[in-house]
Amino acid sequence: MTTFSAVVTTGIYCRPGCGAKPLAENVRTFELAATAEAAGFRACLRCRPYRVAGPVAADAPELVCRAVQLIIEGALDRGTEAALGARLAVSPRHLRRLFHDHLGVTPDQLARSRRAHFARRLLDDTDLTVAGIAFASGFGSLRQFNRDMRMVFRAAPGELRDRRRRADRLAADGGLSMRLPYSPPLNWEAMLAVLAERAVPGVESVRDGVYRRTISLDGEAGLLEVRAGEGDHLVLCAHLPFWEGLIHVVDRAGRIFGVDADLARAEADLAGDPVVGPLVAARPGVRPPGAWGSFEIAVDAVLAQYSARPRVRRQQAGLVTALGRPVPGLDHGLTHLFPSAETVAGADLVDAGVSAAAARAVRALAVAVAEDEFILGGGSALREFVGALCAIPGVAEGTAHSIALRLGYGDAFPAADRDVRATLPANEILDPGEDVAAAWRPWRALAATHLIAAAVA
């Protein structure tokens, strides 16, 4: 976990490694930049703490983590704390109390800090106009944007743009490039191998060290490219039809690679395990892969329940070609958008090349998602989430855990995954079931990811 140091005599907070050397008695520490800001401190101009990843503490209660995820997805861009509390079935007062006790900020303060930090990164990395940055960062108006930037950084957006350094701006051959900060290490090669093994033909591509995929924004097609950067960030190049709400595109892109994850405690806890420990030592920095689209990875998991990976890839290609919207003019094998749940629910999947048993399960999943998007919304506890998926005809518990892992549930364990099973026998474990994985709680998703990474290496 990143710890920010705030100096009471200057009113400034810094990231770890900053060259400032204040007296120890004048220093306060905070786990979140937003907490330091709520206490009245402003970001250091030298070390620029808004450019580092700021994951929420892993030991925060599940309800707080769910609330934070909803905030990241934009619940407070236009909504209120009361509406957020209602979605979580708690009062706004209780929600604020939980946030104060565990994070040191209110939900509104956290949302405001996130928007301001993202805007500051856009001011550094891009040449977007100030007005464009305001709406790309999730602010409802220029007035709100200017007010919050002055509150967080003690300067107007124009002044902050004037302070950017020559090396800050990221040049791009078309599109818009920006940094995706993370807390090192991040094992880029191993994560690309895992994503390549599960890439959807025509929708995703992993070539020459670059991850690419097509996306849909309000019905319009876009393209994302992610590559390794220098030091503590990845570089995202986005080709989009518009920039409004860019903060949520960037958050979703970062989620694919787990840039907000803090692995220190999890890797330390797993290091001594006789099975997973050697895998962690061999590939430090591997993170559970996320997903751009929850329905997309759910379809992949269901197909993998019935078929081996080569056949799954052929079935995915058939689905995408038959039901996906074509996106002409792209390279690297990208040809389509992934079809929506509504489209899949009304289609004959056998004609698209899917086996009869898998087609029934995928169609049942599509109908459930089309009727109730919350099923794949990631807003419930793991047990409830798995239970809701297992209630869909044809979806097994192991498949539900595979989906949960990609949607960020840290204790998900897909015991039936073929790559997990392929690695476990090499460690003289015959039954990759619940009892085997119990020793890896609450980091079973990371343990499973290391087993998968070892299988695809």
Give the three-state DSSP class for 210.
Answer: strand
Give the three-state DSSP class for 368.
Answer: helix
Output the pLDDT for position 432.
47
CATH code for 4-47?
3.40.10.10
Output the pLDDT for position 305.
96
Output the pLDDT for position 82.
94
Section 212-225 average pLDDT: 94
Section 337-350 average pLDDT: 95
* CATH architecture of the domain covering 176-268: 2-Layer Sandwich (3.30)
Output the pLDDT for position 189.
96
Report the distance separating Cα 389 and Cα 397, nearest Å.
Answer: 8
Output the pLDDT for position 187.
96
Cβ neighbours, 10 Å, residue 20: 13
Is 165 buried (19+), middle (13-18) or exposed (0-12) by CB count in 10 A? exposed
What b-and-e string marks burial along 341-366, b requiring 16 or more CB atoms within 10 Å of the CB?
bebbbebebeebbbbeebbbbbbbbb
Catalytic annotation present for 47: no
* CATH entry 1.10.10.1100 includes domain 62-162: no
Catalytic annotation present for 237: no
60-64, 116-120, 198-202, 384-388: which has the minimum mean pLDDT?
60-64
Output the pLDDT for position 234.
96
Catalytic-labelled residue, pool 124, 269, 417, 419: 417
Q: Which residues, at least 6 apart from 351, have a Cβ–Cβ distance to it below 8 Å?
A: 322
- What is the torsion angle, in degrees rounded to the nearest 10, for the CA atoms of residue 316, residue 243, residue 252 and residue 385? -80
User: What pTM, to 2 d.p., does this model score?
Assistant: 0.89
Closest CA to 407 of 394, 432, 389, 434: 389
What tens digit of pLDDT does each residue of 262-271 get?
A: 888 999 999 9
Output the pLDDT for position 171.
62
Say if CB 130 and CB 161 are below 8 A apart.
yes
What are the boundaries of each domain within the chain?
4-47, 62-162, 176-268
Catalytic-labelled residue, pool 14, 44, 47, 237: 14
Can you say whether residue 378 is alpha, beta or left, with left for phi > 0 and alpha for psi between -120 and 50 degrees?
A: left
What tens digit of pLDDT does each residue of 88-128 get?
A: 889 999 999 999 999 999 999 999 999 999 999 999 999 99
Output the pLDDT for position 66.
82
φ/ψ (deg, to 5) at 179: -85, 145
Section 155-160 average pLDDT: 94
What residues does 176 pair with on adjacent strands?
A: 238
Closest CA to 320 of 308, 306, 338: 338
What does the mean pLDDT of the chain come to? 90
Q: Which tops the pLDDT comparison, 420 or 167?
A: 420
Output the pLDDT for position 430.
46
Output the pLDDT for position 407.
92
Output the pLDDT for position 173.
63
Output the pLDDT for position 378.
57
Q: In the structure, what pLDDT confidence band is assigned to residue 55 with cuts at 50, 70 and 90?
A: low
Report the distance separating Cα 142 and Cα 268, nearest Å.
Answer: 45
